[in-house]
Amino acid sequence: MTDPTTRVHDLDETELLARIFPLLPTGPAVVVGPGDDAAVVRAPDGRFVVTTDVLVQDRHFRRDWSTGYDVGRRAAVQNLADVAAMGAHATSLVVSLVVPGDLEVDWVTGLARGLAEASAPAAVVGGDLSGGDAVVVSVTVHGDLAGRDPVLRSGARPGDVVAHAGTLGTSAAGLDLLTCGAAEPRDGAPDGGGPLHPYVSAYLRPRSPLAAGPAAAAAGATAMLDVSDGLLRDAGRLARAGGVTLDIARSDLGPDVVALLPAAVQVSVTTGDDGDPDRALRWVLAGGEDHGLLATFPAHVAATGLPAPFRPIGVVTTADDAPTVLLDGEQPDVAPGWDHFRP
Amino acid sequence: MTDPTTRVHDLDETELLARIFPLLPTGPAVVVGPGDDAAVVRAPDGRFVVTTDVLVQDRHFRRDWSTGYDVGRRAAVQNLADVAAMGAHATSLVVSLVVPGDLEVDWVTGLARGLAEASAPAAVVGGDLSGGDAVVVSVTVHGDLAGRDPVLRSGARPGDVVAHAGTLGTSAAGLDLLTCGAAEPRDGAPDGGGPLHPYVSAYLRPRSPLAAGPAAAAAGATAMLDVSDGLLRDAGRLARAGGVTLDIARSDLGPDVVALLPAAVQVSVTTGDDGDPDRALRWVLAGGEDHGLLATFPAHVAATGLPAPFRPIGVVTTADDAPTVLLDGEQPDVAPGWDHFRP
């Protein structure tokens, strides 16, 4: 069908868009789809949720590791998780894409497929394309609250149970495995081809438990956010926004740490260090981009059963001095997570 | 207040956001503003309009010509014009911003001010910041149709009047004046300082007749779009979408061309060419980025008065063979406009 050697500068904008549009399925929320000055989207309860995130080549992804398909999935998921963290389900998204002229058209169409697949049944309703020296993908996702109040970061109250849905540390493990060369990103097929290492996949194509967001809202979650910058750092945000302290129980994270130990050993063997006993724990506590959901629930909700796949990992207590995050009642001795302008 | 030499990499992300958030006023449509995982915005009639556009340094703007404030205004206006072209008024926007670490913080806060000023009373409800080698600004704007049908590109019918609101060719004139050195971009003040040359201002900080969009919809416009890539090229889009021909009357563009003649002479004198008799006409017909609105109205609407500031510039006729744009009944002998991947 497509000549895989065709590059963006071989087509004009209309021709390029003509290859992208058919890959972007419509959805039930779409009144007017792509192709006009703007799209029109349904907002059934008279409000919509909106969030935006940007991915920059060589900052957030490497083109020798990530295919366009991977980047499309990741760009979608990090935004979809933000919408889910408000308790909403996604209805539609728009995309701005900056690409070098010598980028393969297949990379761009792969990105469109990845976006569309990760977002369905939400529809891609619009976008903009520009030339530039590096790939930049900016995605804006819209969601519907189905008449419920949004679940804010600020609602955690002493006595609430802290719960998490999704994986912790697998994306960071994947990144470290790739960085030290213990794992290869892929077999080179344009859409990712054969099976990826599960942690490499978690890093290149994160999966967020999106349905857990609206389920948490329906169950009465008092606060929620998407864990994108590491458990401790994001838990700190809930603590400060609510003026409370979150006390995480290390034992509840035991299975996550144990599952990552073989990967931690693999990194130690590959890098030739003597074995870092805390590497797996650090992945779980400070590793970002798994895009799980961290929420707080009233104790009576937890007692009768948290919505799947949430599981308790701690409790909310009164902030003694400043709101903070504790690990088994003590200040954790781990770097908290990711900052975008300081390496 | 702010040290003008402070650069982005001197602050962490939280500190940088703390300088930006106060510059982003809220608006009547905002339920939940910036700072949570996502914003929540009112959509009173159960639908919203959405469009996105991206500006890339050294493709769409030069940092030695444009301040952050200018880029903020321009990024807002090109999206606001798309919302207006659907017949909607803007309610809210989100911004993705990629900036080099050595960029002055004042440039970033200037961009926030420019965005906020150009968008008011629409609110900036969210954003994302990332490092990168060049500035990239991606803006998504949302609008409200107030219960009306959106005005699509496809509705033009034979017998309709073609009308335009806004300026034609002034942005292209400003760009050419800057490019040949006949005008200086500014006096160097961070917010643009003293008065800009009017055409330079049209290029650096375009103004779109935003209120004319909803007014056109209320008056019964059959089709509408934002003129961003040049009158002929964008008129061609209306023609193809509607399966009609648009016949533009050169005489109706006379005042636009005459107004630009001194600037055209200035470019000729500066570049030392012998005078290009068609330069001003070319600016009017093919110059992009004035962000006026091109619409078609039923003849009876035009007869009783077009909504201000629309003025008639032609008529819609049946497409003989392929839909096209004519100038006084003939194929125009002018390059049609701008393509993003071919210089």
- Partner B contacted by A339 (CB < 8 A): yes
d(CA B43, CA B247) in angstroms, rounded, equals: 38
Q: Which residues of A touch B55 (CB under 8 A)?
A: 130
A342 within some domain: no
pLDDT of A76 > 90? The answer is yes
**pLDDT > 90? residue B1:** no
Are A159 and A45 contained in the same domain?
A: no
User: From the CA of A33, how many Å to the nearest CA of chain B?
Assistant: 10
Judgement on whether residues B68 and B185 belong to the same structural domain of the protein: no
B87: CATH: 3.30.1330.10
Using left for φ > 0, alpha for ψ between -120 and 50, and beta otherwise, residue A220 falls in: left
The alpha-carbon gap from A131 to the nearest alpha carbon of chain B, in Å, equals 6
Percentage of chain A surpassing pLDDT 90?
Answer: 83
Largest CA distance in chain B: 65
Mean pLDDT estimate for chain A: 92
Domain range enclosing A172: 153-327
Token duo for residue A272: 């030739």
CATH of the domain at A282: 3.90.650.10
Give me the pLDDT at residue B337, please: 55
Q: What is the interface pTM, i.e. ipTM, of the complex?
A: 0.92
| HEC readout, A165-231 | ECCCCHHHHHHHHHHHCCCCCCCCCCCCCCCCCHHHHHHHCCCCCCCHHHHHHHHCCCEEEEECCCH
The pLDDT tens digits of the residues spanning B233-261 come to 999 999 999 999 999 999 999 999 999 99
| Domain assignment present for B340 | no
Looking at residue A24, its pLDDT comes to 87
A138 and A161 part of one domain:
no
Which of B144, B171, B202 lies at the terminal end of a domain, its last residue?
B144
Asked, for residue B271, whether it belongs to a domain, the answer is yes
Work out the minimum CA distance from A274 to partner chain B, whole angstroms: 33
Is the pLDDT at A340 greater than 60, yes or no? no
Question: Is residue A117 domain-shared with residue A86, that is, in the same domain?
Answer: yes
The pLDDT assigned to B194 comes to 57
Residue B343 inside a domain? The answer is: no
Residues 201-240 on B with a CB inside 8 Å of A are 224-226
For testing contact with chain A, the best of B49, B50, B338 (most A CBs within 10 A) = B50
Query: Contact A32/B136, CB-based, under 8 Å?
Result: no
Same domain, A106 and A172: no
Residues in chain B within 8 Å Cβ distance of A82:
37-38
**Do A83 and A198 share a structural domain?**
no
Same domain as B170, residue B303: yes
Question: Which of A56, A141, A150 is opposite residue B130, by nearest beta carbon?
Answer: A56
Quote the strand ranges of chain A, DSSP E: 30-32, 39-42, 47-56, 89-99, 123-131, 136-144, 161-165, 223-227, 244-248, 292-297, 311-318, 325-327
Please state the domain count of chain B. 2
- How near does any CA of chain A get to the CA of B258, in Å? 30
* pLDDT digit string, tens, across residues A184-198: 887 444 454 556 789
How confident is the model at residue A189, as a pLDDT?
Answer: 44
Dist CA B202 CA A281 (whole Å):
56
Strand order in the sheet with B311-318: B223-227, B292-297, B161-165, B311-318, B244-248, B325-327
* Residues A71 and A178 both lie in one domain: no
Does the distance separating the beta carbons of A50 and B125 come in below 8 Å? yes
pLDDT band at A343 (very low <50, low <70, confident <90, very high): very low
Q: For residue B80, give Cα distances in angstroms to B148, B168, B321.
A: 18, 18, 35
A-facing residues of B in 107-136 (CB < 8 A) are: 125-134, 136
Mutation to test the B interface, candidates A37, A47, A86, most B Cβ within 10 Å: A37
pLDDT at A193 (0 to 100): 52
Q: Do A12 and B59 touch (CB under 8 A)?
A: no
Does residue A88 form part of some domain?
Answer: yes
Pick from A120, A144, A168: which residue ends a domain? A144
Q: Which residues in B lie closer than 8 A to residue A35 (C-beta atoms)?
A: 153
pLDDT score of B193:
52
Q: Are residues B304 and B177 in the same domain?
A: yes
Are B171 and B312 in the same domain?
Answer: yes
* Whether A137 and A172 share a structural domain: no
pLDDT tens, residue by residue, A192-249 = 455 678 999 999 999 999 999 999 999 999 999 999 999 999 999 999 999 999 999 9
A181 and A114 in one domain?
Answer: no
Q: Which residues of chain B make contact with A30, given a CB cutoff of 8 A?
A: none
Among A172-181, A185-194, A280-289, B294-303, which stretch is predicted with the lowest mean pLDDT?
A185-194
